[in-house]
Structure formats: C-alpha cells, structure tokens
A and B are shown apart, each in its own frame.
Chain A
C-alpha cells in the first residue's frame, strides 16, 4: 500500500535542502523582511514559511525588530471609498460601511472581554511549556473569582472591572474586582510575597487619561479577601483605569502619595460590560 501523506508532509518532503541551512534561513528571513528579495524568491519564502517553523520564526524575529519604524510613520487617513469597496467585495452589512472618521471610530471600539481571555489563553499556549502552569492557574483563578465571589458577595450586583495582577515571573499575586452598583472593590490575594515588618504593599490605580498612579490603599498583611467601599472619587479612578499595580512601600504606605519604583505586580483592567449583557 502506498504511503499517505498530508499536504504538510508532502511540502516538507519537497522542501529544498537550502531551507534547512541556518545561515540561508537567516539570510532569507532578513532579506524577506527588508523586501529586497526578487518577487519569485519572496513568494517561495512565503510558501515555505508556512511549513518551515525555523524560517517562520526568523521572519517573525526580523519583523518584530523593524516594526518600530512602521510605528513611527505618520498616519494618513484613507479615502472613504476604500472601505466602501472592501465592504462591497466582502458583502459586509450596510451599518459597517460608513466610516465616521478614524479617530471617532477608535473611541467606539469595544472588545468583548471573553474574547480577550480566549485570545490571551491562546497566546499562552504557544509559549514554552514551563509557563503553562502559571498561565493556566491565573486563568482558573480569574474565573473562580468571577463566578465564586460574585454570588458570595454581590448576588445582583453587576461586575464592572477585573484585573489579574501578576508578578514578573507570571505568578498570580492578586485579583481585583469591582462591582458597579455598590461601588465595592474586592481584592482576592492569591500569592502574597512576604514583606519586612517595616514595609507595606500598596495598591495603585493607573489612569488611562494622564498615566498617573493614585493609591487605593495599603493591602492588609495576612488577609486573603479584602472588601473595600470605594469613594465616588475612587470609583471615578477605577472607571478611568488602565491598569493596577502593587508596590512595596514603607510601613503604612507611600508618604509621598506616589508609588515607589519597586513594582511587585501589575495587571490590566478589563471592563466586563459584555459579560453582564450576556449573563
């Protein structure tokens, strides 16, 4: 019986030997990124990179190194007919066809937090196995906090924001959730690092608007579940939050009203309006 090969295996078998030579792979990947290969070789590299992991990795490496040049490039809003043509060709519904200006549109962008989590999980799964455990535990943790503490604390209180704060090595430190109607902050401490007697851990909220950090208070030593009623001012800070950070401060918290540069953990705030809607 003849051997059955998948398209990938077939392609690997027919892969020219030169694509296995690391020096040639490096040369092709860098010149591909730079755009200096001839059209024929460029296409060849593009096809091979689908099956040749080493080649694909080197292309990603070079693209990631050069992309800052693209990020510095001045924006140029396209003509309105560009999107109209695309929408027509892809049969995209009418309401999406009107582009109301790039700046207005970007303000309207809403990303479903469920998708954020799924995407985040997907991205972790392509990382080295050593990081699976911590990534997975953080995710389980977040889900547990959302679905266990919610009925426990605030049965009918719509959850508004969640932030999973992790240490530099990816270990979860704490999960902070806020509830919209009662304006309560629930902090679930997962893995507290030990601190000296003359030191305290302080929680800060970093503003989206001015990138300044403002204190939400000192985290009490030894407590695993902290519930705090937020003032109107603090609630406004949460609504404008980009991320939360925990810093190591002198006992009782920062005397300066500013966080020290000893950041123990940090995490982005995710707004959970969509979850409420879907619940």
Chain B
C-alpha cells in the first residue's frame, strides 16, 4: 500500500504549504468550532451549564455581528438576548453533520438583527422622525469595498469568497454585501443607488448566480 498523502503532487504541495502558513488561524477556528459543536450537543441533552458555556464562548462574536447590523449597542444586546432564547428553544434542530455550529448560531443572530433593523426602520418612519441611518457610513463603505476587493487573505473559504466577490461587477458585490453585512433590504439598496428595485433584484440575482459558479469552481 502506497502512502496516501494529504498532498501528493506539486500543485497540492503548494496548497498544503499555503494551508500550513494559515494553519494557526484555521486550526484555532476548527478548535473553537469543535467546542461549540460539543456544547450544542450537550445543550441538546438539556444541559444548562453547557448552555452557559456556549454563551461565554460565543457571545462576544455573535454580539459583534448583531452590532454590525444594528449599529447600536443596546439593540445589539437585545438581539443577542432574543437570539440566545431562540437558540435554547431550537437547540434540537441543530444537526452537527449538516451545518457548522458557528454558522448555525450566526445565522440565528443575523436574521434576528435584520428583523430588528427593519422593525426600527418602520417605527421611525411611522413616527415621522428624521431618519438618516439608511445613508451608508464611511466606515461601512470602506468595509464593503475592502470585502469586495480583498484577495489572498485568510483561510481557504474566506479567500474563495473574497476572490469570487472581487470578480463580480462592483454594484452586484456591493448590493450583496450591503444586504448580508448590514441588513439592507432591496428597497434600501434601491434608495441608496437611486435605482428601481427591479434593477436591484436583478443585480443581486445575477451576482449570486455568478458567485455560485465561481465558488463551485
């Protein structure tokens, strides 16, 4: 039996070297991921101490995501609280073989935060309050530009996404990132670009199609 290498040709060797350079980052993500998955499994057995540990392990990261979307510390804290209640209530729906633990947790927080942003937006509009939060801040714009142009940093999945986003037309990648990173609805994006909403839908749909093709390659 010949040794089966994790890398057995030059191309793969280069990739292995590259992954070894990124190994500390990737390994620490993998370790954290394993811990979260184990804690979620213990939560599924009804272990509330494990839930406490899950919170301690992930709350700051998840709160960062909530804050990224809501841009408000108190709102982020409220979103986090609601999300953790939902995590406990829906803990049985987590399936370790189908989804990474952090992906599952982050998705719950993101959708809660999107809801919160849109609820706040409607409330502000109903109260006829001058509301200028829909203007992209300079910080958000630089983040979006960084994400849509960044190449060659981070681990493989991060690199792949960044590379593929960079290949999209700028308005397509910007629309996708505005939605994902900051919870902008299609109406908000249409307002920002001063473009009909159907055009925005088309940008996002085509952008996602091209992104999928690129990621699959």
A112 at interface, CB cutoff 8 A: yes
Instruction: Given A39-B115, A39-B118, A264-B3, check contact A105 B208 (CB 8 Å).
Output: no
* Closest B residue, CB atoms, query A116: B38
A111 and B161 contacting across the interface, CB-CB below 8 Å: no
Say yes or no for B154: interface residue by CB 8 A criterion: yes
Q: List 16 A-B contacts (CB under 8 A).
A: A30-B208, A34-B204, A65-B211, A66-B161, A70-B102, A72-B158, A73-B64, A74-B64, A82-B77, A82-B81, A93-B49, A96-B48, A123-B97, A126-B95, A126-B97, A243-B27
Per the 8 Å Cβ criterion, residues 55-102 of A in contact with B are 56-57, 60, 63-79, 81-83, 85-87, 89-90, 92-93, 96, 99, 102
Interface contacts beyond A70-B65, A82-B59, A167-B4: sample of 16 additional A-B pairs, CB < 8 Å, sorted by A = A34-B176, A35-B180, A39-B118, A76-B64, A79-B73, A86-B84, A86-B88, A111-B42, A126-B96, A126-B98, A194-B2, A201-B3, A206-B27, A263-B6, A263-B16, A264-B4
Residues in B142-158 with C-beta less than 8 Å from chain A: 147, 154-155, 157-158
What is the interface residue range for chain B against chain A? 35 or more
Q: Mark A199-224, 1 if CB is under 8 A from B, else 0.
A: 00100001000010000000000000
Do the beta carbons of A68 and B158 come within 8 Å of each other? Answer: yes
Q: B41: nearest residue on chain A (CB-CB)? A: A119
Q: Are B107 and A63 in contact (CB under 8 A)?
A: yes
Known contacts A64-B103, A106-B57, A35 near B81 by CB under 8 Å: no
Question: B99's closest neighbor in chain A, by CB?
Answer: A60
Q: Does A36 contact B (CB under 8 A)?
A: yes
User: Which 7 pairs, one residue from A and one from B, show the smallest C-beta to C-beta distance?
Assistant: A126-B97, A105-B56, A96-B52, A68-B158, A193-B3, A211-B24, A75-B60
Please state if B59 and A102 are interface contacts (CB–CB under 8 Å): yes
B131 within 8 A of A: no
CB atoms of B48 and A73 under 8 A apart: no
Chain B residues with Cβ below 8 Å from A112 are 38, 42
Q: How far is the CA of A178 from the CA of B173 in the complex (A)?
A: 51
When the two chains form their complex, are residues B41 and A118 in contact, meaning their CB atoms are under 8 A apart?
A: yes
Q: Which of B1-60 contact A (CB under 8 A)?
A: 1-8, 13, 16-17, 20, 23-24, 27, 29, 31, 34-35, 37-39, 41-42, 48-49, 51-53, 55-57, 59-60
**Given A93-B48, A261-B16, residue A211 in contact with residue B23 (CB < 8 A):** yes
Beta-carbon contact of B102 and A78 below 8 Å: no
* A278 in the interface (beta carbon within 8 A): no
Give the shortest distance, in Å, between B213 (CB) and chain A (any CB).
12
Chain B 192-217 interface mask (CB, 8 Å, partner A; 1/0): 00000000000011001001100100
Distance A99 CA – B80 CA, assembled complex (angstroms)? 15
A115 with B185, Cβ < 8 A, contacts A83-B55, A99-B56, A102-B59 known? no
1/0 per residue A169-196: CB within 8 Å of B?
1010000000000000000000111110
Give the Cβ gap from A258 to chain B, nearest Cβ, in Å.
11
Complex: A115 Cα to B49 Cα, angstroms:
14
Which of B20, B31, B49, B63 has the largest count of A CB atoms less than 10 A from its CB? B63
**Is residue B106 within 8 Å, beta carbon to beta carbon, of the partner chain?**
yes
A31 interfacial contact with B, CB 8 Å: yes
Q: Which residue of B lies closest to A168 (CB)?
A: B6
Closest chain-B Cβ to A216's Cβ sits at a distance in Å of 18
Q: Is the CB of B76 within 8 A of A78?
A: yes
B166 beta carbon closer than 8 Å to chain A: no
- Contacts A193-B3, A263-B7: A115 and B42 contacting too (C-beta < 8 A)? yes
Given contacts A86-B55, A92-B52, A105-B57, contact A67 B155 (CB under 8 A): no
